[in-house]
Structure 1
Amino acid sequence: MATTSAINSPFRQVRDLPCPKGLPLLGNLHQLPPTRFHLVLEGWAAKLGSPYRFQICKTPVTVWTDAELCQSIMRERPHRYRRYASLESVLEEIGCNGLFSAEGAAWEPQRKLVMQALSIPHVKAFFPTLKAITERLHTRWQSAASQGRDIEMTEELKRYTVDVTSALAFGEDPRTLERDRGVIQEHLALIFPMLMSRVNAPFPYWRYLRLPRDRRVDRALVEVHRYVRDMMQRARERMQADPADSPRHLLEAMLTMRDAPDSTITDDQIAANVLTLLLAGEDTTANSIAWTLMYLASDQRLQQRLAATARTAFGEAPVCPDYSLLKDLDLFEAVCTETGRFRPVAVINSFEPLQDVCVADVALPAGTKMFFLNRPAMLDARHFSHPWRFDPDRWLHGKTREEETHDPRAYLQFGAGPRVCPGRHLASVEMRLVLSMLMNRFSIQIVGDPSDIKEVSAFTMVPSTMPVRLSIRA
């Protein structure tokens, strides 16, 4: 399972790996619809085992399902492995090559700033604002429940996470929860599907021909970058007006670094990180909570248990009133975590080695494309007992029985190693706050047939829809 730095003849070559049957020239490209990309790869893994390869024209892509191996490779970033190189080039083109995709020397200073901004002490100090934004969400949902109005939850939750991320990291609350149209989230929503398409494209057609969907994304990016640059300008004006009190948040900290003597940070890099945080904060947490609602809606007993837990923790208050009480809401995060085993938002991790390596028993030349599928390991009885049973209690400390298997290392939704997700604590707080408010005050049901909710590859794995109806809890 270990990796080495040289290729030796006893090892299998990439061409020796099993491969689904394809077509001349195209390879398997015609079998990979963008919206079902992860499902096709998982299906091939079930038939061919791991590792296997598929072909995008002449380019082989290796596919793996070993979580321990994925952990090992994550720990060897950034000196031996990097993210998919095409991801960095596509993000560079749209002005979004920030912390998520930056490699080499550009990564470390950005990482330090973002880790400080999203640290536990900063999130704790930010809690009053976070509580206020959650109260706005409660007011919005209470109105919908009173009117018997159905809610598209993916959109609602993205509004919430955009407001939270903007207020915490940039010192501005866009208050998208109080508006129906003309919000930044409408433009952000077009970016991830475009990334999914371009990163896996065999040829960068958009550099020569702009299709209607590319022109829609172009218009969205103009609005997003205008939004980001205006926010940067307002931050500079606040810093000039009150320099003694700066920096107060991540954006001001980045601008301070930009203006330091001998700084190599540019305004473009700051804008890229602002956009990266907006996208990451808006999409991943929102969709994780949205998938959770599907499981809650089908389990009235779990809803009642969660409601009782919330009521015990913070009584009649609509929203958890104090940061210190979040520790009493472990069950809510456990429900989200268990949902992530079945519906992982981060369904694929992509890497490529920076040098010739041997991974397991396969020789990989530098630059070989590697996809790691996260879900197979999480649904494997070798890692989790009764893997097809939805059981949030498996994640609660001390709840797993000794005879049961529980290997949290197989759960890679936040990554691992030096580049583990810096926003994981903020995501935990958002999950606890939103779900405890929801279960404390409402019961929930899916509108229509739950089987109509499909998994969609849109860079992350998102629900095609999540229409719900809320009822005010007695």
Structure 2
Amino acid sequence: MADLQFDAPPTLRTVADLPCPRGVPLLGNLFQMAPAKLHLTLEQWARQFGSPYRVQLGTIPVTVWTQADLFQTVMRERPHLYRRFAPMESVMAELGGNGVFSAEGAAWEPQRRLVMRALSFPNVKSFFPTLAAITGRFLVRLQDAAKERRTLEMTKELKRYTVDVTSTLAFGEDPHTLERERGVIQEQLALVPPALMRRVTALFPYWHYFTLPEDRRLARAMVEVHGYIRQMIERTRERMHESPDAPPRNLLEAMLAARNEPDSTVTDEQISANVLTLLVAGEDTTANAIAWALMYVAADDRLQQRLFEQSRAVFGEAGICPDYDALKHLDLCEAVCNEALRLRPVAAIQTFEPLSDVQIGGVAIPTGTRMLFLTRPAMLDPLNFAHPERFDPDRWRHPRDPSEGAHELKAYLTFGAGPRVCPGRYLAAVEMRLVLSMMLRHFEIELAIDPAKIEEVSAFTMVPNTMPVRLKPRS
């Protein structure tokens, strides 16, 4: 009788079994991982070694992953089985910003409820008239630049807009950075994401022992930022004291009201931390997402004409999108931004570590092992998106026939997934439609630089090193 053969169970690999780029003794791959190019270096190694692989920061192993299904698994099992890198929470705490983005465990849930409520779909919809007014002020600023034939550094201009939007929605105060040239708060906020990148990826907390020039600049900036936040909180407390029976009108008032409730677990430090978190996140991510979209739009005259025609049809005689319900007719604008973020994801790296020993993707991962998930490789995989190298906004605009090729939405990892999906995604979608439609309705757009010279920079988020744009008014 023939021998019976059974398939052997797959062998579980350890972290040490994973392939690893050649490094140097003691330091491992540390000096091969320049913070400003970290995502590009990790993506290159993923193409070489597959996923997962391992890098060494001295004696610390870091696993690197690209599979979208495993990313979804980890995100679904947060915050109970996985957390962000522990250094993320400690670094943010040192900066006074350990809010909803970086807080873990029991400290996270009450903050999350407040932030999600403030940035919910109904609140963003009710905020639309104010958002439209800020967009109108942005249009005036761009029209002035176009008349003077000035080249605009578009990322900086967009950050003025997003700071005004975020501050008004979340804190009830419009800083009017669109009308000011100097002394605006985002000059200080801009130093925070690069500092996070440096410190979270550092081999040890060197700034506890000696400070570099950029650390000293950061310290001075944080004094100004926290002074700005304290004054904002005090003004809000005064307004609430004058109208004690009025319901909370924004996130800051809701947090202060929760702070005053009996047996409240909300602290002054948490309130300040969430103000800082929303200022940084609301300014940085959406502004850079729109900037990347403009790079693609500027290179395609036919796409510009289509965006112009759609915006003109929706606006009628108005200068910007006239009401919230009209936004749904600006689907090409959102498709352009979706496609830009697929090719240029602002959140190119996501960081995690397990809270207990886990097995994932056939690898045994001990408690506390650092895990980096790269979001772009899955979005450039032809198994997930047809012709993934092509900038094709129309892939997002209509129900796809299977004959058109893959379009796997679960591989679109821009806003995360699971319980900790980005709370600002509704606001970001509205801002992107509003700004792109406004700009293409009123201007022809051209880059003032060869697109090949625009570099991707890891500054916690993935940002363009420059985005100089010239605007020509449409007749």
Instruction: Write the distance in 2 (CA, Å) between the matches of 1:22 and 1:309.
Output: 53
CA contact (8 A) 2:21 2:55 kept: yes
Instruction: Give the SS at the match of 2:462.
Output: strand
**CA deviation after TM superposition for structure 1 residue 316, in Å:** 2.8
- CA 1:387/1:90 → structure 2, altered by over 3 Å: closer, same or farther? same
- Which position in structure 2 is the counterpart of 1:266? 267
Q: Note the 1:427-442 alignment, pairs <5 A.
A: 427-442=428-443
Q: Is residue 281 of structure 1 aligned with residue 277 of structure 2?
A: no
Aligned to 1:94: 95
Identify the residue that residue 244 of structure 1 maps to in structure 2.
Answer: 245
Instruction: Describe the shift of the 1:403–1:471 C-alpha distance in structure 2 as closer, same or farther (beyond 3 A).
Output: closer
Percent identity over the alignment is 65
Alignment-derived partner of residue 167 in structure 1: 168
Which residues of 2 match residues 115-130 of structure 1 at below 5 A? 115-130=116-131
Q: Deviation per CA, 1:379-409: give whole Å up to 9, x if none.
A: 0000001111111011113255544210011
| Alpha-carbon contact 1:239-1:246 (below 8 Å) kept | no
Which structure 1 segments of 5+ residues have no match? Answer: 1-7
Structure 2 CA distance, aligned partners of 1:224 and 1:35? Answer: 24
Q: CA deviation at 1:27?
A: 0.2
Looking at structure 1, the residues matched to 153 and 401 of structure 2 have their Cα atoms a distance apart, in angstroms, of 35
Paired residue for 1:398?
399
CA distance in 2 between partners of 1:286 and 1:99 (Å): 20
Code of the residue aligned with 2:23 in structure 1: it is G
Instruction: Measure the CA separation in 2 of the matches of 1:46 and 1:403.
Output: 26
CA distance in 1, matches of 2:10, 2:85: 26
Match status 1:181 vs 2:182: yes
**How far, CA to CA, are the matches of 2:316 and 2:405 in structure 1?**
35
Give 3-state SS (helix, strand or coil) of 1:371's partner: strand
TM alignment of 1:1-80, pairs within 5 A: 10-80=11-81
Structure 1, residues 175-202: CA drift from partner, whole Å, max 9, x if none?
A: 0000000000000000000000000000
Q: Is the aligned partner of 1:302 residue 2:315?
A: no
Contact between 1:136 and 1:177, CA under 8 Å: does it hold in 2?
A: yes
SS in 2 for 1:55: strand
Question: How far apart, in 2, do the equivalents of 1:225 and 1:278 lie?
Answer: 11
- In the alignment, is the contact (CA less than 8 A) between 1:158 and 1:185 conserved in 2? yes
Residues 214-244 of structure 1 deviation map (CA, whole Å, 9 limit, x = unaligned): 0100000000000111100000000000112
1:281 Cα deviation from its structure 2 partner: 0.3
Name the residue aligned to 2:313: 312
Instruction: Give the CA deviation at 1:246.
Output: 3.1
Aligned position for 2:3: none
Counterpart Cα distance in 2 of 1:471 and 1:446: 11
- Measure the CA separation in 1 of the matches of 2:17 and 2:474: 59
CA contact (8 A) 1:332 1:435 kept: yes
1:253-312, Cα deviation, whole Å (9 max, x unpaired): 000000111112111110000000011100000000000111001000000000000011
Report the equivalent of 1:455: 456
User: 1:108: which partner in 2?
Assistant: 109
Give the Å deviation of 1:245: 1.6
Distance in 2 between residues matched to 1:76 and 1:120, nearest whole Å: 24
- Please state how far the C-alpha of 1:449 moved relative to its aligned partner: 1.5
The equivalent of 1:332 in structure 2 is 333
Any idea what SS the aligned residue of 1:245 has?
coil
Q: Which amino acid aligns with 2:457?
A: V
SS of match in other structure, 2:330: helix
| SS of residue matched to 1:306 | helix
The aligned counterpart of 2:291 is: 290
Mark the CA change 1:400 to 1:88 in structure 2 (over 3 Å): closer, same or farther: farther
Gaps of 5+ in 2: 1-8
Contact 1:456–1:464 (CA under 8 A) maintained in structure 2: yes
Root-mean-square deviation (Å): 1.1
- Give 2:17's aligned amino acid: D
Q: Which amino acid counterpart does residue 378 of structure 1 have in structure 2?
A: M
What whole-Å deviation, never above 9, does each CA across 1:301-344 have from its counterpart, x for those lacking one? Answer: 00000000001111231111111100101110110000011110
1:317-396 matched pairs, under 5 angstroms: 317-396=318-397
Deviations, residues 131-153 of structure 1 (Å, cap 9, x unaligned): 01000110000011111110000
Q: Which amino acid aligns with 1:238?
A: R
Shift of 1:12: 0.6
| Matched length | 467
Partner deviation per Cα, 1:80-115 (whole Å, 9 max, x = no partner): 000111100000001000000111111111111111
Which amino acid in 2 is paired with 1:225?
H
**2:214 maps to 1:213:** yes
Distance 1:420 1:214 in 2: 31
9 and 120 in structure 1: CA distance in 2 versus 1, 3 angstrom threshold: closer
8 A Cα contact 1:64 1:373, kept in partner: yes
SS in structure 2 at match of 1:244 = coil
Alignment partners' CA distance in 1, 2:411 and 2:10: 31
2:412 corresponds in structure 1 to: 411
Length-normalised TM-score, structure 1: 0.97
1:194 and 2:195 matched: yes
> Matches of residues 151-162 of structure 1 in structure 2 within 5 Å?
151-162=152-163
Give, as a single letter, the amino acid of the residue that structure 1 aligns with 2:151: D
Q: State the shift of 1:9 in Å.
A: 10
Provide, for residues 19-44 of structure 1, a one-character-per-residue CA deviation record: whole Å limited to 9, x for no partner.
00000011000101111011000000
**Residue of structure 2 in register with 1:5 after alignment:** none
Q: Counterpart amino acid of 1:151?
A: L
Q: How much does 1:413 deviate?
A: 0.8
Counterpart of 1:331, as a letter, is L
- Distance in structure 2 (CA, Å) of the matches to 1:328 and 1:401: 25
Please name the residue that 1:3 is paired with.
none
Instruction: Supply the distance in 1 between the matched residues of 2:398 and 2:305 (Cα, whole angstroms).
Output: 21
CA contact (8 A) 2:386 2:404 kept: no
For 1:182 and 1:73, the matched residues in 2 are separated by 41
